[in-house]
Amino acid sequence: MLARVALRPVAAAAAGRAPVRMFGTSMPYLRNERPAPKKDNEQADSNIEHLASFLESQPTPNQRNSNNRNNARNADTRAPGPTKTFANGHYYDPYTLSPEAMTNQFRRRAPPLLGPSKREAMKSDPIHILGLKPSKPSLADDSYKNGALLSEYISEMGRILPRNLTGLTRKSQRSIGKAIRRARAFGILPVHTRSNGNRGAGGWR
């Protein structure tokens, strides 16, 4: 037995062939088994390409936010149904009965945080334009007891309105506040409500 094993390399050398031993890492398959067809690989590649094209077609987060903003603007600009109500005994302009006026909704502007500048206030301040001094009673100027004038600068709950709502100059705002407090002390104006101006202490005295 040993002689036969020893003669094999000698016979291979005599034949001019070197003994070669093959090594491989892949598992050999049987004759009945065949490698996977190429169609499966092609189908997988096509699925990957389809998925990549689908992901590219999807909008980015920035585009989604912009689309949401545009949709919100379009929803705000849509004309809603008639929302205006009419009260019995009131007079209305004929334009208010048109479909445009009944469907349009005007947004209320937020009141300014600060009062107007001196130049702007001097143009619209009636106290400054008329030269009234309600904080300084005199025979020539009796605006200090004009309840109809002073009640214009009082809220429904009796609070003195700030300058960002009255639009007065700083000097007129101080004089109006002083005149209102003096009129309340004299009983010309109520303390916790707004004067009517037509009856009681709201008119001239």
Measuring CA to CA, how many Å separate 126 from each of 30, 72, 121, 197? 108, 43, 9, 18
Predicted confidence (pLDDT) per residue in 138-165, tens digit: 888 888 889 889 999 999 999 999 999 9
Find the mean pLDDT for residues 194-198: 65
Q: Which ranges of the chain does DSSP label H, i.e. alpha helix?
A: 2-14, 38-57, 61-77, 99-103, 118-124, 126-130, 147-150, 163-166, 170-186
C-beta atoms surrounding 135 within 10 Å: 19
Question: What percent of the chain clears pLDDT 70, i.e. is strictly above it?
Answer: 60
Predicted confidence (pLDDT) per residue in 67-83, tens digit: 666 666 665 555 455 56
Find the mean pLDDT for residues 57-61: 68
Distance CA 169, CA 126 (A): 10
Q: Which of 83, 32, 65, 186 is nearest to 201 (CA)?
A: 186
118-200 classified as CATH 3.30.590.20? no
C-beta atoms surrounding 122 within 10 Å: 14
